[in-house]
Amino acid sequence: MNLDQWLAHQQLQHPDAIALGLDRVCLVAQRLGLTRPARHVITVAGTNGKGSTVAFIETIAREAGLRVGAYTSPHLLHYNERVRIDGVDAGDEALVAAFERIEAARLTGKGEPIPLTYFEYGTLAALLLFEHQRLDLAILEVGLGGRLDAVNIVDADVAVITTVDLDHQDWLGADRESIGLEKAGVMRAGKPVVLGEIDPPASVLRHAYRIGASATRAGCDYLIDDLPGGWRWREPGYAIDLPEPVMDAPAQRANAAAAIAALRALDLADANIAIADAAIAEGVRSARLPARLQRIERDSVEIVIDVAHNPQAARQLADWLAAHPVTGATHAVFSALGDKDLVGIVVPLIERIERWWLCGLHDTPRGLSGTALADRLRVALDGRVVDVLPDVELALRAARRIATAGDRILVFGSFHTAADALRALDTGP
């Protein structure tokens, strides 16, 4: 099978798209003989900011001369984006070879084959590919939660929890305290954990103290100071002046700061890991990630693409819009998955948007039609100018026909929404 056929096959090997738990994936990992993906491992969990924090850690570490692997999810345009080795996406052949080994392992032994989810296949494949690359550092992004996520079969030298907010409540719990405890499951006794928000849930702190994890807290153990044209990261006995990140959002300083704290913890634990100030500064400046307030200019209209898909991310997006006004109108092309808090995503942005283009998502079973999305948002958007289109491409095309010089088109919501917009902008006028 080629890569696309393998990915289709994986969708059929477990009755649930999401099935949290480590027993099945641990058993397959044991059959594969997996040991350790790299000399050092950093695991990144959190509601928002995981991907950006991984990008900062990866870029800084590579600037320091380390050989780095990064596993992230979901992907935007190509599955291969999920596994990077020294900044290069894994090739189809390497992924297919890993899937073949995983399939053989889950089918061996007595009894029924071990069912794996799509995410579990991908996690095991990344670990297989990393293990044979003699990496200095593997950075593993948690898919969902932490405690029962497949990534958590690996003991991290440093854990990072970026933020904790409401998302995936059906699996993680109904409030920040419950969700925080699930994310705290990536901590390890006696190992550092970086807490990237100033006021994390009490459940996170209690768990760190309970197991003896060494917590490094934003706003307490490390601080951020404003400087003209940049900012300063500091902790007792050390400070560094830094440029603004290329990734443009108020939260990106916090994500970069958490990344620096994680690498500082790793540096202190291993004298062979040397992260120079120049590597930190260049990594912070140059780290990039698509669809995080990605700005594209077309016909004097700014198009901004962002994967804000929960209320916390929507509030941060609203703050960015307020800080970056345009002379004209702001149009929003929006779609998200049906299991999201759609009203909670839209409400923080209502006062920043003059016209809404609601559209459907068709390449995922969790997607909604444009009409169903509009029905869910009817009360929240009452009195607003709303158009409903079948898909993202048509909605973006319609918004671009209306927009004039000085306007902004904001495309946001699901990763699927961002991916469809990027494809449309790449292939069409």
Tell me the CATH number at 117: 3.40.1190.10
The number of domains in the chain is 2
Looking at the structure, tell me whether residues 185 and 309 fall in a common domain.
Answer: no
Answer whether 338's CB lies under 8 Å from 368's CB.
Answer: yes
**Mean pLDDT per 10-residue run, the chain (429 residues)?**
96 80 95 96 96 98 96 96 98 98 90 92 98 96 95 97 87 90 97 96 97 97 96 97 92 97 85 88 96 93 95 95 95 95 96 97 89 96 96 97 96 96 78
Going by their DSSP bridges, the two strands 301-306 and 385-389 should be labelled as unpaired
Residues 234 and 351 in one domain: no
Same-domain status, 21 and 154: yes
Last residue of a domain, one of 245, 267, 286: 286
- Claim to verify: residue 148 and residue 262 sit in the same structural domain: yes
Which of the listed residues 286, 310, 326 is the one where a domain comes to its end? Answer: 286
The reported pLDDT for the residue numbered 269 is: 66
Sequence letter at residue 256 = A
- 278 and 305 within one domain: no
Cα–chain center distance at 238: 29
Claim to verify: residue 40 and residue 10 sit in the same structural domain: yes
Q: What is the pLDDT of residue 268?
A: 65
As a whole number of angstroms, the distance between CA 192 and CA 212 comes to: 9
Q: What is the pLDDT of residue 429?
A: 41
Last residue of a domain, one of 286, 303, 324: 286
Q: Are residues 326 and 252 in the same domain?
A: no
Q: Which region holds residue 107: left if phi is over 0, alpha if psi is between -120 and 50, else beta?
A: alpha
Q: What is the pLDDT of residue 167?
A: 79
What is the pTM assigned to this prediction?
0.95
Residue span of the structural domain in which 73 resides: 3-286
The pLDDT assigned to 365 comes to: 83
Residue 212 gets the label, from left (phi > 0), alpha (psi -120 to 50) or beta, of left
Torsion of CA 400, 403, 407, 413, to 10 degrees: -40
Whether residue 161 contacts residue 149, with contact meaning beta carbons closer than 8 Å, is answered with no
Residues 373 and 227 in one domain: no
